[in-house]
């Protein structure tokens, strides 16, 4: 299931808010979700763009190209 950048932010928020209930193992996951969302937003992607197709295509969020506006 592919999530949008907005959903990745919501998931990270949920995971961070529930670390005390679900355990510290969620911290790396939440950090990765947050980082992926922030980096993609900084590169010009929108809240409703899908995260996984970009990661599958480019391998890592850092390799995803910036969106060039005309």
The predicted-structure confidence for 11-44, as pLDDT tens digits, reads as follows 999 999 998 888 888 899 999 999 999 999 999 9
Residue 45 lies in a domain: yes
For every residue of 11-64, DSSP letters joined together read HHHHHHHTHHHH-TTHHHHHHHHHHHHHHHHHTT--TTSBSHHHHHHHSSGGGS
Query: In this structure, what DSSP letter does residue 2 have?
Result: -
Question: What value does the mean pLDDT of the chain take?
Answer: 93
The predicted pLDDT at position 19 comes to 86
Residue 38 lies in a domain: yes
Residue 69 lies in a domain: no
Distance CA 9, CA 36 (A): 9
What is the residue range of 10's domain? 5-63
Distance CA 54, CA 52 (A): 5
Residue 41 lies in a domain: yes
């Amino acid at each position: 299931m592919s999530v949008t950048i907005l959903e990745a932010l919501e998931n990270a928020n949920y995971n961070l808010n529930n670390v005390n209930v679900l355990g510290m193992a969620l911290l790396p996951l939440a950090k990765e979700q947050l980082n992926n969302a922030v980096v993609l937003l900084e590169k010009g992607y929108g809240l409703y763009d899908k995260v996984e197709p970009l990661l599958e295509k480019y391998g890592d969020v850092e390799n995803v190209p910036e969106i060039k506006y005309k």
